[in-house]
Structure formats: structure tokens, C-alpha cells
Structure 1
Amino acid sequence: MAISEGISGNPGAVNTKLGLGLISKLTRLDKLGIFLGGLWVGNGDYLFGGGIKPRSWNFNSVFILDLQIDSDLAIRLPGGRLGVSYLRFNGQPANSAAGIITGYDGLTQASPLVRDELYQLWWRQSLFHDKLIVRVGKTVPTYDFNNVVKPVPVNSENLSIPAVTGLIYTPAFVNPSILGNLPGYYNSAYGVTTTFAPLPQLYFSYGIYDGNLARGVQTGLKTAPEFTGYYFQIGEAGYAWLLGQNELPRNIGAGGWGQTGRLTAGSGPPTISENGVGGFYCFGAQRLWFQHPRIDNSGLSAFYQFGINDSSTMLADKYFGFGITGVGLVPRRSADSIGTGLAWSWLNRPPGSGRRSNEAMLATYYQMHVFSGIFLQPTFTFIPNPGAATDVNSATALTLQAMVLF
């Protein structure tokens, strides 16, 4: 399968269908409505200076195998789809070495850093000509909520914004004002997601999930849900449209969320606690310029993110980020992309944490399409104020990443 556009810096965090389905195509299982494919992403982080462990290497890799069955083709049940995926992660604490709270390398997350997971197990049912969609089971809610990376939906591929950015830092995949509460990569969770789309460019989504991630439970490692009074629920609305005579696509999304249960923070005494938290976020993307209008999709686009919450125990209570992406700007390199982004988080400072009040990251990357589903990507990241402690020096890191979709 040919790829003509750039991809996300971590497809496993934002893409509903993982990989290209090459296994099912080679075995002709696709004729039976079966998708079988996946991805492997590996990277090495070198911390040039600053942080907590300067002049150090950290290596990470994730492998995801994805199986999806179209019930219409397989058993003549219209509108249904079954999804199952397996995840294997091997990694090292690159973000801790840099002293960063929110994560400059989004591939490595919380411990344990060697894990095997039932990443997804869900049933998706489409009703009323795809206007109502319900997904039940173990899912990755960042596919459906606060997903600034997903392409902007338009009718023509020549007008679309492809993967809005290839940035690899964690805020590109989950807003830091929800980080640690919203299930996602690699901590998926059981729950229900409902989306109502009265128009192709307009949607309203609501989801409720196992919320034990907020109290430190690694929900991705759980094969069954836990119902202990901790629930995470979220609602979002989004709209996409074309702007001006050049039909520049853009989208906007906004949502609110709530977390139940008693949350604590701090290494006191004293510690702080609160019973339930909530917040608001918004995001958007805008095509800025077409290099070859109505001919191909090359050009420039931009995105922005914002989030705020009422919590004093979560990692951050406010966040703002933005970035610019260029796609297909190099002649005969239509699937290459280049981009830069800024992620700025205002951190909570519970007793004994020693954290800074805020943390910023500036990252720049070039994503090179090698062939088929193989991409190489160097990313340069500068963190002027790592948030782990006030005495941690500014950090500079280079990440070399390879991505293989199959």
C-alpha cells in the first residue's frame, strides 16, 4: 500500500486502525472483511546536556499487532466491527533522565517499562447510516477525544490536512491538563464511547471509562475492568470546514471532562487530597497554504491546544501548545514532513514535590518516508525549564526514531 502523506510521531497513540493490513492483504483475508496488520516504533534518545542524567542514552520500542473484523463482510451483520490488539513495550526512563514531567518522548510512559498488554478488545456498532457509532470494551480514548493529530475530514484528499503533526512529545497525544487521568497509550481502559455525527463534518462524542488510572493503576495491564468508584467521563464536540476561495480546511474541537474518586498528591506530611476533579480543553488545526492548489496536498498547516482544570493533585492545571507542519515541500518527497512545536504546561506543586511552577518544550523534527510503511525521523528538543525540580538545568535532547507500518 502506498503512503502519500506524513504520519503521526506515534501512530499507536492516535490511529484507530494500526498499520497497513499487509498480513491480511498477503493472505487475502481482507476479502473476508479481516484487517490484520500493525506497527513497530523504536527510538534512541541522547541527552546532550542538562537534565538529571546528562550525556546519557535511552532506548524504547513498541510493537502492536492489530486485528479487526468487519461483521458485514464476515457474517453479514451490518455496521459491526470487532477489534483486538496486542502491545509489547520495552523501554527506558528517557523523560526522567531529562527531569521533565510531561514527557519529551511520548513513546515511553509510566513504569513498568517492559510490558505485554491486551491493548484493545472492543465491539463497534454503526447505526442510522453511520450517524450514531457506539464502541464498547477496552479502548484507547485518545483516538476519539482531544486528538489534535488526526487528519481533518474533507471530501477531497487534495484538500485534507494529513497527520497534523509528527511531533513525538507527549502533549501532542494527550493534553497535559488531562495527563494521568484520560486513558490512552499505553494505558487503555474499559468503557463506552458514543459518537453522533449528523453531518460528515460535525460530531458530538461522549465516553465513560474505568478511571483507576488517576490513582496510579496501570489500566493497560489489566485484562478485566475494575469498578472501584473511580470513573472518567468526557464529552466533546467538533466541526470541520473549508475557508476562502482556496478552500483551506480547518477544524475545531472542544470538550469537558470529569474524574470521580478521592485523589491525593504529595510526599508529605502533609499531603493534599480532593474528591473528584474536572476540566475543559479545546484544540484546532488550520491549513495555512497550498504549494500546488487543487493538484496535491503539499503545503503548510498549523495547530493549537489549550486545557485547564480545577485540580491541585494532577501533574498540571493549565496547558497551551501550538505548532506548524510542512508536508511534501521537498520535490518528489510527497510523504515527507517537517515541523516544530511548543508545549507549555503550568504544573501543580504538591508538598514535597520540589517541582517548578511551569515547564516548556520546544521541538523540531524532519520525518522522512523511506519506502512503503517505513519512516525515519530525527527530533531535536530543547527544555529550558525541566519541571521535576527547581535546580535541574535546561536540557537538550536528540531523538532518532524509526517507524514501520505493516
Structure 2
Amino acid sequence: MENAYRKSGLVAFALAASAICAGSARADDAPPSIIDSVPALAPIGDFKKSLADHGLTLQMTYIGEVLGNPTGGARQGVVYDGRLDAVLEADMGKVANLDGGTIHVEGFWTHGTSLSHNYLTNLLAESYIEALPTIRLYELWYEQKLFNDKLSVRFGQLGADTDFVASKYAALFANSTTGWPGVLVSDLPSGGPAYPFASPGMRAKYDFNDNFTYVIGIYDGDPAGPGSNDPQLRNRYGVNFRLSDPPLIMQEAQIKYNQDKDSPGLAGTVKLGAWQHVGAFKDLRYDVTGQPLTSGLPAALHGGDYGFYGMIDQQLVKAPSDPTKGLGAFLRVFGAPGDRNVSDFYFDTGLNLSGFVPGRANDVAGVSFAYMHISDSAAAAAIDAGSPVRPDYEALLEATYQTQIAPGFGVQPVLEYVFHPGARLNGAATRNALVLGVRSTINF
């Protein structure tokens, strides 16, 4: 317990110290703030402006939500969970005369109860803020831009989900899998370096021109470290800073077109990527002699793991009032070898609609669908071990509407339907679940 308090104190100290010497998400990218709408919050705005005058920025966002499953799942219930996100950055050009340099610190306070863990027992979590209650350091890095900002190199504690597999249109949805996809959570040690985890590593990004970008990242391959319990318990405060695990390498090529708002064509982005983990991975079904694992012998080992993906964000119709809005669609497809991975195939897709409701320029409606297939090796191993049902797949359907109540304050009703919660991996055919909820987001 003493060690837990010591780690919690370290995180609190890091966040407090960085508030003095660092700032938030870049000012140019900062979302509207509720500070401008609530006079009582003016002192906070004044404080942020004083920081900005010295090259320091601060951005805080609170997300709170009530979710429940009136039908299906392992049992029914209603929960509240929330996350306070503090992002702090320093423009080193202003702070230390080091042009192109940025220091970034980000931490979370997560609290409440997980509907997925306690009621649904599903794999594709219904909320992307869901995490065990804690104070956690997420990212801590330094970035240097070079060659007229064409090249950026970032090193420190990094989240791969900030640079890879990200979809503009998928970002609307409340579920977690349209962000960092469930196939990577299932296949990578500790779910990979993505929320709520980050790992020590380095990322390089090069913009060849306005239409083509290449990104590569190398990360410690197990952000929580080995163990059989929940990875979030093994790295509860985000300060393990593991450096000795076999690395994870991710690469992505990004092709963009019609990005200028005055372009007559429809905007789109295509991304092609791959990941490779150089550690040893156990075969899911066969032992070292090629017999089923029910023999009791050690599992056969595979030298590394890997996967490929492709994705597209495509504008379909431009809104008359704003050419950057309208009807848009996304599609992401992932594949990985089935002999060493729980999931060997995954895809998600969806539609977004914005800019068509008079007087509601910032409202967005959307529907998405995600599907994760359980590999034949994982399914056969379950049958070999005596499971009464064969694991097959889990799927998630979501419909949502995000509305802005005031600048910096939004409300988002959510409806989700979970098919085959848990994909029958636990030996039970858990009933399909309906999830209803509402989320609020406040940007400070």
C-alpha cells in the first residue's frame, strides 16, 4: 500500500510540476472552451492567457457519462464513469529559444464503474474513457520539428493511438474500438501502447508533401509487463517506464486528397499500415510436439507477431453551408495470423452527418458497426479444452448524436447493441446486449 501511495504521489507531482513549465494541446488545435461562456470561469481564462504569453498552454477536458444495459449481457445495471484529461505543453521556441521544440505532458483522473467489465463482459468496450479508477500519467515526451516542419521526431512515453490507425470520422463514437481497435487490444501484450497506457519509445513523421506522409514508431512492447491479472493493475499509475521488453514497431503511409476547403473534389484520406512485435508468442492450440495443448506440454513458440491494416476516411457529400462538413464515411480493415492471436480479422465502418441542420452547425450524427472475428486456433483450443460453445465473434453497433449546448459544452446520447458479448470465449453464450446512455463533455 505504501508503494501505491508513493506512485500516486509521483504522478500528482509530475502533473503539478508540468503545470508550471508546460502547456496543453496546441493552441491552434484547441477546441472551444466553456470558459468563454461562463463569466465565473474568467479567472481560469486569464491564467491560461498568462501562460500562453510565455509559450505555455493548458487544456483540460472532462467527460462524464451514464450508461446502462436494460437487456442482455451477463447481468443488467447502470453505471457512471468519468475522465478528467489534463494536457500540458511548452513551446520551447518561446521558453528556451529552441525553435521547433515542444514538451508535452498528459495525465488522466479516471473514476466510476465499468459497464463492460461488470455487466457486459464484452471485448469491444462500450466507452473509450473506460478505465480503472486512478490518477495516471499518460504521455510525457519531447518533440523536435526539422526541415521546415516536414520532419518531426518525438521521444519519451508515447501512446501509439495518437499517431496510428486514427480515423477522423470514427472519432465521433463513444465506444472504444473505433479508436484503438479491439483486434490490437486482444493481440498485443497488455493491449498495446494505447489508452489508458503509453510506452517509452520514439516516433518519426515525415511529410513528403501536402498529400503524402510516412510515420514510424518503436515502442516498448508491453506497457504493463507480464502477469495474469488485469494489466491496469500492473501499471496503475502510468509510471512503470518499462524499457526491457521486446519492441513493437508500427508503420503507416498516409495519402490525402482534396484537403483544401476550396477544392471542388471530395476530401479523403487513405492509410496503409503494418505492425510487428519481435517477442516470442505462444501458439494458441498446439504444443511443442504439434499436439493439442490438452497434452499438458508447453505451447509451441512463434518468433514474433505481426499484422496489416488499411483504412479510408471519405467525404461523400459536402454541406452547402460549410464544405468541410457534410456526409462522410470511414472503413478500417485489420488482419493478423490466427495461430498466435485471439483475433485474426477485424473491421469497422460508419457514417457521419454534419452541417445540414439549420442553426446547429456543430452538431454531428453518426452510426457505426464493428466486427471482430475469433481465430480458428483460439476457437479450436476452447473446444479442445471442453468449452460447450465455440467462440466465434463479437460485433458492436452504435448510433449517436453529438450536440453543442454552448461553446465548450456538449451532450451526446448513445445507443449501442452488442452481438455475442465476449465472443463466447468464456465458455458461455452471453445474451446480446442493448446499451443506452448519455455523455457530456466540457472543455476548459
What band does the TM-score fall into relative to the shorter chain? Answer: 0.7 to 0.9
Q: Which residue of 2 aligns with 1:11?
A: none
> Aligned AA for 1:169?
N
Higher strand share: 1
User: Do the aligned partners of 1:320 and 1:345 also contact (CA within 8 Å) in 2?
Assistant: yes
Name the count of aligned residue pairs: 374
CA contact (8 A) 2:403 2:412 kept: yes
Higher normalized contact order (CA 8 Å, seq sep 6+, divided by chain length): 1
User: Aligned letter for 1:190?
Assistant: P
In the alignment, structure 1 residue 38 sits paired with structure 2 residue 60: yes
CA distance in 1, matches of 2:138, 2:79: 24
Asked whether the equivalents of residues 171 and 179 of structure 2 are also in contact (C-alpha less than 8 Å), the reply is no
Gaps of 5+ in 1: 1-14, 150-162
Distance, in Å, in 2 between the alignment partners of 1:277 and 1:316 is 12
- Match runs of 1:232-381 below 5 Å: 232-242=248-258, 246-264=264-282, 272=299, 274-275=301-302, 276-292=304-320, 295-348=322-375, 349=378, 350-351=381-382, 356-381=391-416
Residues 61 and 29 of structure 1: is their aligned pair in 2 closer, same or farther, counting only changes over 3 Å?
Answer: same
Which residue number corresponds to residue 175 of structure 1?
Answer: 181
- The answer (yes or no) to whether the contact 1:19–1:39 under 8 Å persists in 2 is no
Q: Which letter maps to 1:107?
A: I
Cα RMSD of the aligned pairs, angstroms, is: 2.7
Q: Deviations over 1:157-179 (max 9, x none)?
A: xxxxxx55411112211122222
Question: 1:396 corresponds to which residue?
Answer: 434
**Displacement, 1:355?**
6.3
Equivalent in 200, 210, 221 of residue 211 of structure 1: 221
4+ residue runs over 6 A deviation: 15-18, 21-24, 265-268
Instruction: Check conservation: 2:32, 2:407, Cα contact below 8 A.
Output: no
| 1-structure distance, mates of 2:182, 2:247 | 19
User: Which structure has the larger Rg?
Assistant: 2
Once the two structures are superposed, the pairs formed by residues 186-205 of structure 1 within 5 Å of their partners are 186-205=196-215
Letter of the 2:64 partner, please give it. Answer: G
Cα offset for 1:313? 4.6
Secondary structure in 2 matching 1:95: helix
Contact 2:199–2:242 (Cα < 8 Å) also in 1: no
- Residues 102 and 313 of structure 1: CA distance in aligned 2, closer, same or farther (over 3 Å): farther
Contact 1:164 1:301 in 2 (8 A): no
**1:70 and 1:81 in contact (8 A); partners too:** yes
Contact 1:179 1:315 in 2 (8 A): no
For residue 67 of structure 1, what is the aligned residue in structure 2? 88
Partner residue, 2:4:
none
* Higher normalized helix content (fraction of residues): 2
CA contact (8 A) 2:66 2:439 kept: yes
CA distance in 2, matches of 1:355, 1:26: 60
Cα distance in 2 between the residues matched to 1:222 and 1:103: 21
| Cα distance, 1:356 vs structure 2 | 2.6
Matched, 1:132 2:151: yes
Residue 49 (structure 1) aligns with: 71
Change beyond 3 A, Cα 1:134–1:116: same
